[in-house]
Structure 1
Amino acid sequence: MATLAVTRPLAVRRVGGWLGKIPYAVLTIYALVAAIGPLVIDYNPIRTSLDDRLLKPGSHLSNGGTAWLGTDGLGRDVLAQVVYGARTSILIGIATVAVSCVVGVTIGTVAGYFRGWLDTFLARGIDILLAFPAILLTIVIAGAFERSVPVVVIALAATAWISFARVTRSVSLSLRERAWVDAARVLGVRRTSILLRHVVPFTIGPVVALATLEFALVVLAEAGLSFLGIGLPPSAVSWGQTIANGKQYLDSAWWISALPGIALSLLIVNIGILGDQLTARYGRGHLN
């Protein structure tokens, strides 16, 4: 009985450990597909082949190739769209999160450490921005300019930085009262050095956890903008565009929308699981 009591928790921990590694494996596969896939698959999103339109997965193409995931209403390969769409989503997600992180961490750290009128001004500005629906503000910005990747990144980062600012502000408010920060001030260390050496490093854990969750939201928002036709230009491949192109063929060619949608869902779910793991590890007790 004692052996069973010891063995069972160990087995449960082993299973839990393997399950916890699944998001890392899935995201690694997505990263490899995004990095290597476009080098292997030759695809032009503008080029069409009406002779190959609406072919089922596994069908042969007119040029002798195979449409492993079928083709869309214009004869374009769905597999290539999924591969190129992965690269687009990951690049836009990384760029948006990087911009949002730099802006949000800078504003949040400065506001939390210096407090006073600067903290009040920045905090009220954040509250005003939170009063507007994030997706509505993103749509307005994306629709006001010509469709391009930089515009999509700016539109998504216009609201994504707020979460980083709020997290780093709360951490900075606590850190500024810590003994090592007080000692640095007494020793005459410059404020810039205090922020960079004694405050910002302690925000890395919560910021990384938040960045993972924000990455999932950014990828989903980018797909939504492209689905609405106000995101990326036609020359760029996006899962949202592919899903939108297949919505009129849901009865006869389900694979056009379903397969990119499954790819998007798997990415979002696994990023969310990874974000929860990082939040549990770094989001609590990081100052203890």
Structure 2
Amino acid sequence: MSPRNRSLARVPYLIVGLYLLTAALGPLFVDYNPRVTSVMQRLLPPGAATGAGQVAWLGTDALGRDVLAQIVYGARTSVLIGLATVLVSAVVGLVLGLIAGYAGGWLDAVLARCFDVLLAFPGILLAIVIAGILDRSVFVVVLALSVTAWIPFARVARGSALSTRERGWVDAARVMGVGSLATLKRHILPFTAGPIVALATLEFGLVVLAEAGLSFLGIGLPPTTVSWGQIIAGGKDYLQTAWWISTLPGIALTLLVVSVGLASDQLSERIKLSR
């Protein structure tokens, strides 16, 4: 790979890292209260001066709230929900997938059919039903998105366990009397970690997009929790007169999801080449 291509390959990682840094440290430098509104400062264009002598670099929304501050706080919400959902899904899927693939027999057949049945249901529809029934909170959104998000992890872990359990070192561990749990941990899990990490990167972007969809529909997070989906929904009626309210958070969301997808593809290629 040429130096130019290597530099371009780092761009998705840099963008994702910038989002993570913004989510972690951005709110420390941005003063924002979602309950505070200002009728006199509503629908200010990007770069306009506010009544307090400050500059609304990305404009204000219909309630006079700073769009840049909302995007920064929305990044924290999206990253938090994305990481929590991926972590829960990866742990559940990894455990069930390894058990199914290593045990084999009837247990593998039953679990595999359960994976297939659950995968047949549209994940976003199940998330909408769960989020619509339960109270609006971060925990409920993570629960709703995790209902089907663990299945890809389980399928990947199962396939890796099936292809690894017949290897010579696994048979040697059994002959030496190594327990099943220790065999899974020492001789099968390391070969599953790479694909799981690549899948987790991809799922992170999909979860962020799904969370924005739930918030856009008004069934995700409460109004006091800032979300990119809520910001976009709040500006959809002002696209002709105040395009920045929905457009700029939409660009931020798109850039993150695309960058995460590109980073996931690169990780997958590196894992294939390393085998």
TM-score normalised to structure 2 length: 0.98
| Mapped pair 1:275 → 2:257 | no
Match of 1:8 in 2: none
SS in 2 for 1:206: helix
Match of 1:45 in 2: 34
* CA–CA distance in structure 1, aligned partners of residues 187 and 13 of structure 2: 31
The CA deviation at 1:285 is: 6.0
Match of 2:249 in 1: 260
Write the letter of the residue equivalent to 2:47.
Answer: G
Match of 2:209 in 1: 220
The CA deviation at 1:134 is: 1.1
Once the two structures are superposed, what CA deviation does each residue of 1:19-66 show, in whole Å capped at 9, x if it has no partner?
001011111211111111101111011211111000000111112211
| Mapped pair 1:60 → 2:39 | no
Once the two structures are superposed, what CA deviation does each residue of 1:82-108 show, in whole Å capped at 9, x if it has no partner?
100111111110000000000000000
Q: 2:149 aligns with which of 138, 157, 160?
A: 160
Q: 1:206 aligns with which of 186, 195, 201?
A: 195
Match of 2:119 in 1: 130
* CA–CA distance in structure 2, aligned partners of residues 133 and 285 of structure 1: 33
Write the letter of the residue equivalent to 1:254.
Answer: W
The CA deviation at 1:81 is: 0.5
**Unmatched segments (≥5 aa) in structure 2:** none
Matches within 5 A, 1:184-195: 184-195=173-184
Match of 1:100 in 2: 89
The CA deviation at 1:109 is: 0.3
* CA–CA distance in structure 2, aligned partners of residues 137 and 281 of structure 1: 34
Once the two structures are superposed, what CA deviation does each residue of 1:214-272 show, in whole Å capped at 9, x if it has no partner?
00000000000000000111110000000000000000000000000000011011101
Percent of aligned pairs with the same residue?
Answer: 63
Which protein shows a greater Rg?
Answer: 1
Q: 1:82 aligns with which of 58, 71, 75?
A: 71
- For the Cα contact (< 8 Å) 1:46–1:234, is it kept in 2? no
Number of residue-to-residue matches in the alignment? 275
| Runs of 4+ with deviation above 2 angstroms | none
**Unmatched segments (≥5 aa) in structure 1:** 1-11
